[in-house]
Amino acid sequence: MAEEDKKAKKSNNEDERQEIVIDASDAVLGRVASYAAKQSLLGKRIIILNCNNALLTGRRRMIINEYNIARRRGGRSLNGPHFPKNSERIMKRTVRGMLSYTQQRGLDALKRIICYCNIPKEYESSNKISLAKEVKAKTMPLQDLSRQI
C-alpha cells in the first residue's frame, strides 16, 4: 500500500515537472513564443496565460500595418492564409512560426501548447514563470492589436 502511494506521488511530481505555466503579462511576445517553442520541443506541456497582456515592441502604427499586410496576403478567402484575430490564437500562431509544424515532431510540440487570454481557475494557484522584463522601446499590448485588425 505504501509503495503504491509513493508511485502515485512520484508520477504527480513528474507531471508537474512536465508542465510549464507561463504568465505572459508584460512580456515580449517573441520571447514568450521562443521559450514556449523550445520547451515544447523538449517534450514539456506548455500553458501560456494572460495572452492579452503580452507586449509587441515597435511603433503602434507600424505593428498594425504589418499585421494587416500579413492578413491580406494570399489568395482566396476560403483557401487561406487564415490569420487569427483573437490574442490567444495570435500567440499560438507566433509559436507555430518557431516550430517545424509540417514535420511530426513540430506538430506534436504545437499540440502541447495551450494559450489562454486570462487565468482559468485550475491554474490560479499553480507556480507561474514570468518572462516580463523592463522594455525601453515603445510597446503595444496584444489585446490592442487584436482589436485593431
Phi/psi of residue 148, nearest 5 degrees: -80, -35
pTM of the entire structure? 0.83
Which three cell numbers, joined as nine digits, stand for 118? Answer: 486570462
Q: Band of the pLDDT at 9, cuts 50, 70, 90?
A: low
pLDDT at 12: 55
Instruction: Report whether pLDDT(132) > 60.
Output: yes
| Separation of alpha carbons 101 and 105, rounded Å | 7
CA distances in angstroms from 48 to 1, 20, 24, 78, 137, listed in the order given: 37, 8, 7, 29, 23
Domain residue ranges in the chain:
15-148
Is domain 15-148 given the CATH code 3.40.50.300 in the classification? no
